């Protein structure tokens, strides 16, 4: 009797999963677009990201108070079409089809339809060291105290170049968290769907003076030369980290290349997507941590 009941439970759960997956797929087909979370999971070439108002799973109410990932403007713009009225005493202009030259056999090669690359999606979340020493999910709305320790989990939906920079309360870009000589052999070209926990050791420690701590997570299909040059200068000294003293102008020029980003998430887990489908796409996540 127990075995039969157990089988019915497993069968019911399996059917529920299949029905749920089919419903999600139908929802994607009806919308004709993907949310950042969906794009992260399916990695579909030519897929389009949903505009913010069409997302199936909007960010939680209030959002992540400590996160600006990406910055409040996602980069998506709304185009307004202006229609000019035709005067009543004039006939509307008619479209004139251009004259085609006479055909002289099949001189032109066949047209090849180009399919854009899948959206580039970064998934990230934070962990916090508990009083027992365990690492637990961290809510970015939390006000962190001196001595608190955190880590960031990062994952890409495809092979790409990953960079993580930190700016302390002093206002200086004085720390590079990734690449790290202790993670991935010091290389920042990361494979698809492999989770990296950064930093590898005790975590990021909040130290005095209090203030806003800022982290930037960058995912790019191409190496970012401004940062690669700095990293190479450090490798000459036997390290594989990016050099210290990255200035605001360098950070700003990189930020300007991250266009048309879409964000999905709550207070602890986020997806940031770039749906341009180009081979030089870049994803940028800017996180503000409040240190009291």
Question: Can you give the pLDDT at residue 142?
Answer: 82
Question: Can you give the pLDDT at residue 108?
Answer: 60
Q: What's phi and psi for 150, nearest 5 deg? A: -135, 160
Question: Can you give the pLDDT at residue 43?
Answer: 87
- Residue at 109 is within a domain: no
Instruction: Report the predicted TM-score, pTM, of the whole model to 2 decimal places.
Output: 0.69
Radius of gyration, CA atoms only, the chain: 24
Contact 291, 215 (CB under 8 A): no
- Residue at 100 is within a domain: no
> Which region among 94-103, 105-114, 280-289 has the lowest average model confidence (pLDDT)?
94-103
Helix ranges (DSSP H) in 153-224: none
**How many other C-beta atoms lie within 10 A of the C-beta of residue 176?**
23
Q: What's phi and psi for 180, nearest 5 deg? A: -135, 130
DSSP 10: H
- Please indicate, yes or no, whether residues 128 and 19 belong to a single structural domain of this protein: no
- Residue at 157 is within a domain: yes
**Residue whose C-alpha is closest to residue 271's, from 282, 262, 258:** 262
pLDDT for 148-192, tens place per residue?
A: 999 999 999 999 999 999 887 677 776 678 988 889 988 999 999
User: Residue 39's pLDDT band (boundaries 50, 70, 90)?
Assistant: very high
Pick 212 or 22 by higher pLDDT. Answer: 212
Q: Looking at the chain, how many residues does it have?
A: 292
The tally of domains found in the chain comes to 2
> Which region among 2-6, 27-31, 79-83 has the lowest average model confidence (pLDDT)?
79-83
Pick 115 or 229 by higher pLDDT. Answer: 229
Question: Can you give the pLDDT at residue 211?
Answer: 86
Residue 217, domain extent? 120-291
């Amino acid at each position: 009797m127990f075995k039969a009941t157990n089988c019915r439970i497993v069968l019911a759960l399996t059917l529920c999963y299949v029905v749920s997956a089919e419903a999600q797929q139908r929802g994607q087909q009806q919308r004709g677009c993907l949310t950042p979370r969906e794009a992260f999971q399916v990695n579909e070439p030519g897929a389009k990201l949903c505009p913010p108002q069409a997302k199936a799973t909007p960010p939680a109410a209030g959002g992540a108070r400590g996160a600006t990932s990406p910055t409040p403007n996602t980069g998506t713009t709304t185009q307004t079409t202006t229609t000019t009225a035709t005067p009543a005493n004039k006939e509307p202009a008619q479209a004139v089809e251009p004259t085609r030259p006479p055909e002289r056999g099949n001189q032109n090669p066949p047209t090849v339809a180009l399919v854009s690359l899948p959206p580039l999606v970064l998934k990230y979340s934070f962990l916090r060291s508990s009083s027992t020493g365990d690492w637990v999910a961290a809510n970015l709305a939390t006000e962190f105290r001196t001595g608190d320790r955190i880590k960031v989990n990062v994952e890409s939906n495809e092979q790409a170049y990953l960079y993580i920079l930190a700016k302390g309360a002093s206002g200086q870009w004085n720390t590079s968290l990734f690449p790290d000589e202790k993670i991935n052999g010091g290389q920042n070209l990361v494979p698809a769907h492999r989770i990296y926990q950064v930093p590898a050791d005790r975590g990021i420690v909040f130290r005095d003076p209090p203030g806003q701590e800022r982290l930037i997570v960058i995912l790019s299909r191409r190496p970012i030369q401004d940062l690669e040059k700095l990293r190479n200068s450090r490798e000459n000294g036997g390290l594989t980290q990016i050099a210290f003293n990255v200035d605001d102008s360098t950070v700003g020029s990189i930020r300007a290349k991250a266009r048309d980003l879409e964000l999905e998430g709550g207070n602890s887990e986020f997806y940031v997507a770039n749906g341009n489908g180009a081979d030089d796409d870049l994803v940028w996540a800017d996180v503000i941590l409040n240190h009291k």
